A = this chain, B = another copy of it.
């Protein structure tokens, strides 16, 4: 694997950098991106939270809508609360009833969360909107994929939208500017370790 000497690597890296610089010089468009984090691995929501952290650091404003409320309490709210002028956090999906199988109620809950996302996308006050676990809702047909893709595609030019969750629908991935798939290589749950604060939630 390491057939090159470090010096050759450095030389290769230098050339690569020069080539990249040249390409980047031609990339002048700044626009809002539609970003999708999917796959079965860890890190979909976590990577989105990292983007939120960076947006805060750049003085930008972020709206977050959580489509599926987890059983576990999340630690991130404390951090969001430290930046009340920059982060609006809407933990929706309270009505999700995977256990009681009340589909009507789930659809209403999904619709309510989606309306909040649409409001944030339309509101010029937000630089980024994070629709956390929206893919799950789409997977269960609680919202029509066509409507969601249409709204996301027609978003204001400078608006970043991040969508997370397993099983991102094909149409959404098609519409996205950036799709990252998180692949699970190794997971501690298989080794007898329970979910822990700061790592899993």
Binding site for B on A (CB under 8 A): 2, 6-7, 9-11, 13-14, 17, 23-24, 26-31, 33, 35, 37, 39, 41-43, 45-60, 74-79, 82-83, 98-99, 101, 103, 127-128, 140-142, 160, 173, 176-189, 191-199, 201
Contact = CB atoms under 8 A, between A and B. Distances in A.
Given A54-B201, A75-B55, A180 B41 contact: yes
A173 B185 contact: yes
B10 A103 contact: yes
B186 A101 contact: no
A186 B197 contact: no
A75 B57 contact: yes
A26 B41 CA distance: 22
Contact of A51 (B48, B173, B199): B199
A98 B198 contact: no
B58 A197 contact: yes
Nearest to A60: B198
A137 B78 CA distance: 34
A194 B28 contact: yes
Given A46-B50, A101-B10, A178-B187, A194 B24 contact: yes
A177 B140 CA distance: 32
B173 A186 contact: yes
Given A50-B46, A50-B48, A198-B58, A182 B180 contact: yes
A192 B27 CA distance: 5
18 contacts: A10-B98, A10-B140, A11-B101, A13-B98, A14-B101, A24-B189, A30-B193, A33-B188, A33-B193, A39-B183, A46-B47, A46-B51, A52-B53, A57-B75, A58-B198, A160-B198, A176-B186, A177-B191
